[in-house]
Amino acid sequence: MADGPFSDITVIDLTHVLSGPCCTMYLAELGARVIKVEHSGHGDETRKFPPLVDGMSAYFATMNRGKESIALELDKQEDKELLLEMIRRADVVVENLRYATLEHLGLDYEALRRINPRLIYAAISAFGQTGPLHERCAYDPILQAMSGMMSINGQPGNPPTKVGTSIVDYFSGMFCLAGIEAALYQRTRTGEGAKVDIGMLDVQMSVLESALMNALNGGPVPRALGNKHPAVTPCDTYDTADRPIIIIAANEDTFGRLCTAMGRPAIAADPRFRTGVDRRANDDALKAEMEAVLRTRPAAQWEEVFAAAGVPCAIVATVPEAVNLAQLRERNMIIESGTIRMAGNPIKLSTLKDPPVRKPAPQLDADGAAIRAEFTPQGKGHLISRIAPR
């Protein structure tokens, strides 16, 4: 991937677990050189996360493919000085450590920009670098709870439920990626670096969509709707002869085509379902009418019929079924890295290679000797005394 748009960018990766490694993985996918700095004793804790394939965690391998690894102990002066020299020559530093971890080591943004004014310093934390909660730590489900996300997820009447994947971590990584890209672009005009401050609670609030719009503008209290949409009907999962299918008809034209494709055009003319407002008011009745027809045929047949009619629909698949979709194979969205299969890069650029096999994630300190040789000046003496702004 060295010929990508960031092929001249060096990233010092001080991240662990998911949000930060997700961000730096995509920087590597876009051509950046990413040097992952890990603790010499244990490395990133996700190295032990299951499933393990040939001794390598698939979790770690997915989020850290294409990177280099060096193991350091930053309470040791020699290792700290080496890291400072790496940062002096780097373009980007990304961290998602506990609040003030780097500040206590003298590696906060203000200290680092003095040795590298062009540095982009990106920090992901639970609550950002300011505000009354900025010193608190949290995990993805905690932030889903605080933001209200859990209250609008799941089936009506059931307990609050988190989303089935770590969406706050993923979104935070991607927002951080966008912030870094913006700061790099700005640097081409000003010559100066910047600090990117990503608060995961901020990110989660920004993706609440219509629930937040209603809460802020006098709408009804957002609640769990299951698979329904707060503004569009029909939009739900529906039983067929064998398994559920999801159908969405967001306007009158699509609803008419849906009814015709079901062989029941009269449903579209029913006063209860004539407009979107009518359909929302009579959602349960419409679902009963639709399922009476849909249960007569298997989901695969209905999916084919509705797709031909231009009605958005899909069988509710399992994850193993989804990874075998021909669409994903054609889009190179299932790739290999080492001996591990994983999701590919959804960022498709006409100028970026998208090979089916990627450079694997590194073993702990796999590149340590080479990196030390590269960044340690020849001769004796402390590195810090040699550090000067570029």
CA atoms 373, 376, 378, 381: torsion sign: negative
Q: pLDDT band for position 67 (50/70/90)?
A: very high
HSE-up (13 A, CA, CB side) for residue 332: 13
| Tokens at 118, concatenated | 């062009």
Q: How many helices (H) and strands (E) does the chain have?
A: 17, 14
pLDDT > 90? residue 60: yes
In angstroms, the first-to-last Cα distance of the chain is 27
Q: pLDDT band for position 2 (50/70/90)?
A: low
| Matching fold, domains 10-207+330-386 and 235-316 | no
pLDDT tens per residue, range 351-372: 999 999 999 999 999 999 999 9
Domain ranges of the chain: 10-207+330-386, 235-316
pLDDT tens per residue, range 185-221: 999 999 999 999 999 999 999 999 999 999 999 999 9
Query: Which residues participate in catalysis according to the annotation?
Result: 229
Q: How far is 252 from 257, CA to CA, in rounded Å?
A: 9
Q: How far is 65 from 168, CA to CA, in rounded Å?
A: 21
pLDDT tens per residue, range 176-185: 999 999 999 9
pLDDT > 90? residue 225: yes
HSE-up (13 A, CA, CB side) for residue 188: 7
Asked whether the beta carbons of 8 and 87 are under 8 A apart, the reply is no
Give the rounded percent of residues in the chain with a pLDDT score beyond 70.
96
Q: In terms of CATH, what superfamily is 235-316?
A: formyl-coa transferase, domain 3 (3.30.1540.10)
pTM score, whole prediction? 0.93
Q: Hey, what CATH topology would domain 10-207+330-386 get?
A: Rossmann fold (3.40.50)
pLDDT > 50? residue 385: no
pLDDT tens per residue, range 228-258: 999 999 999 999 999 999 999 999 999 999 9
